[in-house]
Amino acid sequence: MPERIPEFESEEVRKRLESVGIELDESRRSATFVQVDQDAVAAESFYEGVEVMSIKQALEKYDWLQDYFWKAVKKEQDDYTREADSPDVNGYFIRAKKGAKVQFPVEACLYLRTQGHRQRVHNIIIAEEGSELNIISGCTSHPGVAAGMHIGISEFFVKRDAKLTFTMIHSWESDIEVRPRSAAIVEDNGVFISNYVLMNPVKLVQMYPTAHLNGKNSRAVFSSIIVGLEGSNVDVGSRAILNGENSSAEIVSRTISRGGRIVARGHLVGNAPEVKGHLECRGLMLSDNGSIIAVPELEANYPNVDLSHEAAIGKIAEEEIFYLMARGFSRDEATAAIIRGFLDLEIKGIPDVLKAEIDKAISLVEKDLL
């Protein structure tokens, strides 16, 4: 296994990593994976219930892993999935063994190092029966690497009674294109929690992660916090397909446009008895430029379902600002407090270090605003 590369000790790079929730302090993580362009440069686990390695290595080690490839995501889905099906693909294999309950997060970083590189990633994540796994996947680019492409396939398998929390933090630069393609297959009583945070400029992010809730009483929760800065084009949706009896899903997003274009999609599909889903999109316009477009879909293909949706897009209400100003806040403080309240999504399973990171990002947005 390659040792941590010295470059990652530099202050500048550390900051990039921290901004996507990756901290190099061993005492607060259960495992680490770092990929730079196509090379896995670090992969180690500090907890015996968790296995972490590069997908290349894992495919050599486990014959059965082949059966998980392109099982949740379709290889023929689009040009990007086809491009990811290449011999130089790398990525991470993360597995929580049967019954293992892993408190500290596994931290996985996909790092775009070379200007103009097309990073192709294929990740397989398995939470075995009765396990609990918490992953932070931070994707970022090297300071100064302005152009490039990130294509990331992630396939999640949440077995019976398992719980998998996956938090993806993106911190790119303004000329980078990002196309994750993710899907999860969730078995009986399994829980899949997916969080997404984007606060920095990016040329384009386009993704539509899907949870296939095939098991009885299976559950998915998708939460997204997206700030669209000037010049950014962000098209993000979450989809839950409720195939299992009594399965349930929740999709929540908070989007802020500071000049960027954001499309917040959502799709709940009810295919089985007693399923329940709720979709909520809220958008805040903070700039004269930019757009927020909410496109939520509810689809009932079975009578005994309960699907609901609510959405609202607007600007900060002047009354709210006046209310706070009457209580001694300055106009800027009042605005900042309202934005902070708007973004205060109760993200499930998110560690403190990440909460602090989100807070920092919010502060930056506030500063730009004022």
315 touching a copy of itself, by CB under 8 A: yes
Region for residue 217 given its phi and psi (left: phi exceeds 0; alpha: psi -120 to 50; beta: otherwise): left
237 touching a copy of itself, by CB under 8 A: no
* Sequence-ordered list of residues with C-beta below 8 angstroms from that of 173, at least 6 positions apart, any chain: 141, 145, 146, 200, 201, 202
233 touching a copy of itself, by CB under 8 A: no
Of the candidate spans 150-158, 191-199, 306-314, 330-338, the one that interacts with a copy of itself by CB under 8 A turns out to be 306-314
369 touching a copy of itself, by CB under 8 A: no
Q: Is the separation of the CB atoms in 183 and 157 below 8 Å?
A: no
* Closest CB to a copy of itself among residues 105, 277: 277
At what angle are helices 11-19 and 352-369 packed, to 10 degrees? Answer: 100
304 touching a copy of itself, by CB under 8 A: yes
* Closest CB to a copy of itself among residues 141, 248: 248
* Closest CB to a copy of itself among residues 288, 352: 288
User: Rounded distance, CA 332 to CA 321, Å?
Assistant: 9
Q: Is the separation of the CB atoms in 205 and 234 below 8 Å?
A: yes
Q: Is the separation of the CB atoms in 106 and 50 below 8 Å?
A: yes
* Closest CB to a copy of itself among residues 293, 353: 293
Q: Which residues from 255-294 bind a copy of itself, rule CB under 8 A?
A: 257, 270, 281, 283, 285-288, 290-294
57 touching a copy of itself, by CB under 8 A: no
* Binding-site member from 10, 86, 308, 330 for a copy of itself (CB under 8 A): 308
135 touching a copy of itself, by CB under 8 A: no
User: Rounded distance, CA 297 to CA 282, Å?
Assistant: 15
How many residues make contact with a copy of itself (CB under 8 A)?
34
Q: Is the separation of the CB atoms in 197 and 168 below 8 Å?
A: yes
Nearest CA-CA partner of 275 in 236, 249, 239, 309 = 249
* Closest CB to a copy of itself among residues 295, 356: 295
Q: Is the separation of the CB atoms in 167 and 139 below 8 Å?
A: no
Whole-number minimum distance, CB 290 to a copy of itself, in Å? 8
297 touching a copy of itself, by CB under 8 A: yes
300 touching a copy of itself, by CB under 8 A: yes
User: Rounded distance, CA 264 to CA 235, Å?
Assistant: 6
* Binding-site member from 298, 325, 353, 369 for a copy of itself (CB under 8 A): 298
Which pairing describes strands 39-45 and 31-36: parallel, antiparallel, or unpaired?
Answer: antiparallel
* Closest CB to a copy of itself among residues 130, 270: 270
Residue type, 211: A
Instruction: Give alpha helix (H) positions in the chain.
Output: 11-19, 55-61, 79-84, 318-326, 331-343, 352-369
* Binding-site member from 21, 228, 260, 296 for a copy of itself (CB under 8 A): 296
- Residues of the shown chain interacting with a copy of itself in the complex, contacts defined by CB under 8 A: 257, 270, 281, 283, 285-288, 290-315
